[in-house]
Amino acid sequence: MTKTSRMSFIKSELPKLRCRVCSQILPAFCKLSDKFPKLTFIYADIDECPETTQHIRYTPTFHFYRDGERVDEMFGTGEERLHDRLWLQS
């Protein structure tokens, strides 16, 4: 993580793709990672990473970090919503 970038880390918790809502947003999440190459995108499966995702109540949940501090979060889907949130935080 670099201190020069305004936002250098995004963490997203998505459950296994058996969730219809999550399977809809995952392709957009991957596509947006190409649109914002200076940001780091991380996917964490709540079933595979219980210690990391133990406080997640809704899926999908997106956490936005800047300089190691969580600065924003988003619940639910919507490629445009996610794009706008990334744009605001970048």
Q: pLDDT for 6-65, tens place per residue?
A: 444 455 554 446 677 888 888 899 899 999 999 999 888 777 788 887 888 888 899 999
**For the chain, what is the domain count?**
1
Q: Which domain holds residue 32?
A: 9-89
Task: Tell me whether residue 4 is in a domain.
Answer: no
| Prediction pTM value | 0.75
CA dist 2 and 16 (Å) reads 30
The one catalytic residue among 19, 21, 28, 44: 19
Has 19 been annotated as catalytic? yes
Q: What is the pLDDT of residue 14?
A: 45
Task: Tell me whether residue 2 is in a domain.
Answer: no
Nearest to 56 by CA among 39, 41, 76, 71: 76
Task: Tell me whether residue 37 is in a domain.
Answer: yes
Q: Which residue has the higher pLDDT, 24 or 71?
A: 71
Task: Tell me whether residue 75 is in a domain.
Answer: yes
pLDDT (tens digit, 9 = 90+) per residue, 39-53? 999 888 777 788 887
Task: Tell me whether residue 3 is in a domain.
Answer: no
Task: Tell me whether residue 31 is in a domain.
Answer: yes
The one catalytic residue among 7, 22, 46, 86: 22
CATH of the domain at 69: 3.40.30.10
Has 22 been annotated as catalytic? yes
